[in-house]
Structure 1
Amino acid sequence: MALSRLRLGGWLTRRRRWGLGAAVLALAALTGTIVWMAGSDDRALDAACDGVLAVDEVRAVLGDGEISVSNRSKGTFDADLKADGKNDEGVANTLSVQCQVEADGKGSVKVTIEGAPRPPTRHGFDGIYTSVPTENALAVPLGHGWSGLFGTANERPDDREDGEATTAVVLNCPKGGSSLLITVETDLIGGTLDDPAARPAYVRTATATAEAANDHWGCGARLGKPVDTVGLPVNKDEYEPLLGADGTCGAVPTAARSAVSTARETARDGAPRESCALGARDGSPRYRLDAYYGPYAEEARAEYSADRGLDGPYPSEEPSGRLGQSAHWASASCPDNAEDALFLVRADSTKDDTRREPDLAYERAALKAFAEASARSHGCGAPAVPGR
């Protein structure tokens, strides 16, 4: 296979053509990366993502035509870490597995598997974990007993020409606070998230891969049930009166001074990240409330610690406090030695999260109500909230 087939990051693309002879399987180590090459049989697909890729589910999305497969695997994972985030050999979780399947004329499925928590030496970098888009449309929980999210970067996820979606599943290992994060990015040409039958197909690729990863790396997490329905991410214009909110914005008070009377929310169903967007009567943004659990909480703390443009302390240093002129955080301890949950309230649609006359009392009240409801639903302790 020619060297021109090499991709960035040590990836090697394998072209699979029907009717060819026997496959050639090769192993090569490139800077800690395992590279697979394959011919006409299913070995490339079966070996992808350390052999845990949900092949049948990927084929259900991409079809049975010609495909190319890319694969990269490096690092280690230990489900039973000590309080300092290391195992008996002093090694922290560095597992990072990626594979991508592309089908001509159909689209692609990219899968990333990451071990958490990461060693502190990784906390100075942006994007410790693969993200789920939440800015343009609020990601929704997978439900069905899974700790997961379904989101899109598009502003109109019900567009009939929108086939881009990201599904994430967090497996919480019960032994020592470790977790596995499985993220699947699906991009179908001519697809649409508006099709209620298509969304569960995207999600099943992630949940089936998560089941295999759970066994492969000995996580031992409790798994959810088959996903037969999943909602659409919530658009910016899908706001409702805050007083009637019963999901992630439930119990959050209104505010006359800040003109907060509407909300965009999702169901609260065990998702590892939750959001509540507060707005004025016409839906224009006022505040954003976010809850982070597991690897997402770890990453959020690391990002704020790396941003020294704000006055300290930071969420990684204190259980609660104030960030800048218009942002507060709270935290709560969670079971099984998991990462402490992190809760944030920020002024929305401002570059530096500030307002000229912030309503600090309301921000603290909204954060307290949001954090208490979220922590309770996740089985975490009472949140530590900021004072005056």
Structure 2
Amino acid sequence: MMKKIFAVLITALLALPALAQVVTTKGVATITYDNKLMPTDVERAQRAAQVASIERYYAEAGEAESENFEAIRPQVEANLDKFIMSSTVLSEQDQPALRKYSVSVRTELNVTKLRVTLRGAAKASQPAGAGNAPMVYVFLGREVAAVKSFDDRVVKRAEIKVDRDIKTSGSVRGSEGESIKSNAISTNANKQQTSKLSASQTVNVETGGSTNRKQDEVTYRMLSMASHKTSVTSVFSQSGFTVADPDFVLGDGDMKSVSADFSHGSDLTPATMRALVASLRKAGVPLLVLATFDVGVPAQDPATGMPRVAVTVTGRVMDVSAAFPREVASVPPVQYFAVAPDGAIATTKALKDASLLAAKEIVSRLNAAGVR
């Protein structure tokens, strides 16, 4: 019993970094002072290091988040105390000969306030009275159900070329004679024949062939994402987007086609995409968010010994309001991991964490692209 409780506690602790609202990070800064290092110079260096720690957090979060930080940098620098909960000096170095002072700090960031400030900046950039366009998101979880492999098809051939050269020569020599004795005449003849035969043969062999390889056929089993629907919708709604439920916008045939396409591949067929666009335009919804969550096979976590499941997320956002739909944001394949006492729990947890983090990443990329 104690072992099980201990395992659950470890799982809970491992889950905290992914969704934490308070993040610990580090920052380094170097300043140049005039003649002598003054307390104001030390304070200036520490504040620069604190700003660097926030910049490092956004840089590690990805390109879109880093771009979003630049939009609120002036506000952050002017109100550091609101965003930094604590700051500890790790090391410092004074170089009087160069008149340089360096400091390294560890800070605790209030990520919630940073996100609120970012949303406020996004709303402020919109025209008066404007609101975020409605969106429909379709999150599809899947795992490999079967893999059909094909043997290589090998074709061998050999070409044999034979050259022969035969030469013959011969000669015949003969002589005849006769003799007369008494009343008889006798004749005689002799014949001599010689022949010569020579032959040569050259054999050339050329071999070759071809090998045909066929791609494995992978079939996926679709997984339900219904239990994560509320939390994902909350992420989009809190970011200012108006979320339309796909059950009321897309038809039953649309969802069946989407599931069928993703159960055999990693993209939608043109027919399915055209049907989705038609349904969205009919409902007046301009944005479509598509994301797939590929669940890997549970493996043993080297740190805890418990099952660990990886989920690979790929997403794209389409704007269907124009005459020709266009992709306004995309999420390249990103992996998220979850550890739990058994494989089933790890899979559920990995899908939950991945869906929330994917929603936040999509929001960041939409903000960076100016889509509100």
Q: Which structure carries more helix by proportion? A: 2
Which structure: larger Rg?
Answer: 2
Superposition TM-score tier, normalisation by shorter sequence: under 0.3
Q: Which is richer in strand?
A: 2
Higher relative contact order (CA 8 A, sep 6+): 2
TM-score by length of 2: 0.24
